[in-house]
Chain A
Amino acid sequence: MSDTHAESIPFVRETTLPQAAPPTAERGVYKWGRENLFATPANALLTLVSIYVIYVVLSAILPWVLNGVWNAGSLSECREILAGTRGGCFAVLVDRWEQLFFGFKYPSDQLWRPTLTLVLFFFAVAPVLFFDLPRKLLAFTAVFPFLAYWLIWGGPILVPIVALVGVGAGYVVYSRLVAQSFAGGFFGGIAAAAVVWFLGGYLVDATTGPSSLLDAVPSRDLGGYMLNFMLGVTCVSLSVPIGIALALGRQSSMPLIKWLSVIFIEFIRGVPLITLLFVASVMLAYFFPPNSTVDLFLRVVIMITMFSSAYIAEVIRGGLAALPKGQYEAADSLGLDYAQSMRLIILPQALKISIPGIVNIAVGLFKDTTLVSVISMFDLVGMIRGPILASTDWNGVYWELLGFAALLFFVVCYGISQYSQWLERRLATDHR
């Protein structure tokens, strides 16, 4: 150390101090505990109170879970085994797991079909969620809805094939015509798909024989958690694109499109979902041609999708409004047309801003699928309230069953939440 200049006001540093370790009180567990748990007396008091509360809760729940009965034929048998001690009667889950997951009517020897569909679902959804995966995997994602339909509902394989061919034909026509005009491509595509479906309908009718590969399972036989999952996945994946279209429609400079979007959104948001579901189960048939029976599952999907797409539209509108006007102007000034500037510039940014809101609605929608139990569809909650709790064996096992339902929903919703946070971090390019 040089003290040459210590006494004078002008100062020149001649040596560099080496790096030193921080004092012991400023490192590791000790520092963390002092700063986070015992920073002030009030803070310390809160810590102690919290520890006590956690202790009380765990001391009530843990013995109940750990002392639970997993093998019994009925609630009374459970009580005999427990012999007065505290414990859950989880035997109901073992006894009725099939009903909880698949409903009580799905043929027992066919349960591999929904299970296989679930496994395939993860492969189909992976390239959509994780866009670092090769884009070619999206081909399977495109085929998956038709495959899944066939696996779950069974019946003649021609039905999903005709549907797929129709969509393919529509896409081909669309991509041919879209260079000239978007509207031409859009309506041309729909017309092409409709023609294929119409002709395909005759083909299916002509070839219907008893020899279908998979036995047909009608929609009313679907149930349990499978039904919630199917409704949730279908409605979320349909309502995001419809929501985007509604949000853009609401911003449109064309008055007709704008007002149609506004009226749709405001009307749907002003009506409770339960009302819409009752409409789906009772009244929607009046709007379809006589003698045509539209599947209950499809009717419910239409209603839930309409409901959530209105909410998603408003969330995305918020994202669009948050973008600086300069982004629109920059896209315009480069000569991009409306579709290009929306697809390449505006929507990628607006959707990124809207991720928390969209995920919020997706999670809410997934849990709202349990409302179908009020229109006598036997989803997870419907199964618990209906066939299981009403049976003489398991009448009264509320905590175990509803706790299990809560756990199943929590796992999926927490997964969605974690994914969305990962996605936000992954897409962060603004370096704020």
Chain B
Amino acid sequence: MTEAVKTPAQMAVSDEVAISIQNMNKWFGSFHVLRDIDLTVNRGERIVICGPSGSGKSTLIRCINALEEHQKGSIEVDGTLLSSDLKNIDKIRSEVGMCFQHFNLFPHLTILENCTLAPIWVRKTPKKEAVETAMHFLEKVKIPDQADKYPGQLSGGQQQRVAIARSLCMRPRIMLFDEPTSALDPEMIKEVLDTMIELAEEGMTMLCVTHEMGFARQVANRVIFMDQGQIVEQNEPEEFFNNPQSPRTQLFLSQILGH
């Protein structure tokens, strides 16, 4: 676990607030999915969110870039208050990168086109520059040689790394990961996690829903445990794993670490 990588505490976290969620509530119809969520994320923080399925962890991070609408409370991203104003939402979305469980690459475009599309159309970057940026990030995720292929020709791990590169091409200040390794084979999980660790070391602000506890120990500087739409416990990873306080957390950890 503790190779040559810096421990989470050593990686710089600034005092600047990146995301501020206050008293946020969300309902799906009459079902209360998120209840009174309060969460402040500083720039450079790396947060892992875990919890049983249906606990609202995906919904929480999807609220941050307005893929889901919240009904009560406030979410502020980079100082911009998330409202129903479309211009506001598009602005926040272009600052916040997101990776999905099922990659959601665009199958009708090549890898390179997947990466250059948003910079060209949203940021109005000249095509040549967008291609250069895309190749830079594809090299970073170690698949520049696949640039002219289509997503369907790549393995799952490669597709997820392209998805990360596609988000990075927008030069986001915050990255959201929604179970990025849950749909992958064990061998591919490692290549995706390596990419994410590299990103964390560069100081990217990250919120990651995942059950990769090794990743949490190595990279996170805060682990959040959610159950029934509430934040049940949050702590530094060492404390969280070695000395969980709430009985619900203890039960969850014993179940996922006990095999």
Contact = CB atoms under 8 A, between A and B. Distances in A.
B152 A334 contact: no
B104 A326 contact: yes
A349 interface: yes
A329 B78 CA distance: 21
Interface string A172-205: 0000000000000000000000000000000000
Nearest to A352: B108
B122 interface: yes
A306 B78 CA distance: 49
A335 B67 contact: no
B121 interface: yes
A344 B105 contact: no
A343 to B, nearest CB: 9
A335 B152 contact: no
A345 interface: yes
B107 A429 contact: yes
Given A329-B67, A430-B152, A334 B94 contact: yes
Given A332-B67, A335-B94, A335-B170, A348 B108 contact: yes
Chain B CB within 10 Å, residue with most, of A335, A345, A352, A429: A335
Contacts of B93: 332-335
B83 interface: no
Contact of B117 (A324, A334, A337): A334
Contact of B153 (A329, A335, A431): A431
**Which interface class (under 10, 10 to 19, 20 to 34, 35 or more) fits B?**
20 to 34
B241 interface: no
B82 to A, nearest CB: 14
A427 to B, nearest CB: 8
B65 interface: yes
A330 interface: yes
A336 interface: yes
Given A327-B104, A340-B121, A333 B86 contact: no
B150 A330 contact: no
Nearest to A329: B67
Chain B CB within 10 Å, residue with most, of A324, A326, A334: A334
A432 interface: yes
B67 A429 contact: no
Interface in A312-334: 324, 326-327, 329-334
Contacts of B153: 431
Given A340-B122, A430-B152, A330 B107 contact: no
Nearest to A327: B104
B98 interface: yes
B215 interface: no
A66 B96 CA distance: 74
B27 interface: no
B152 A432 contact: yes
A249 B224 CA distance: 42
B42 to A, nearest CB: 23
A389 B107 CA distance: 55
A344 B121 contact: yes
B100 interface: yes
B102 interface: yes
Contacts of B63: none
Contacts of B167: 333-334
Given A326-B102, A336-B90, A430-B150, 19 more contacts: A324-B102, A324-B104, A327-B104, A327-B106, A329-B67, A330-B98, A331-B106, A332-B65, A333-B65, A333-B98, A333-B167, A334-B94, A334-B167, A334-B170, A335-B93, A335-B118, A335-B122, A340-B121, A349-B107
7 contacts: A332-B93, A333-B93, A334-B118, A335-B122, A336-B121, A427-B108, A432-B152
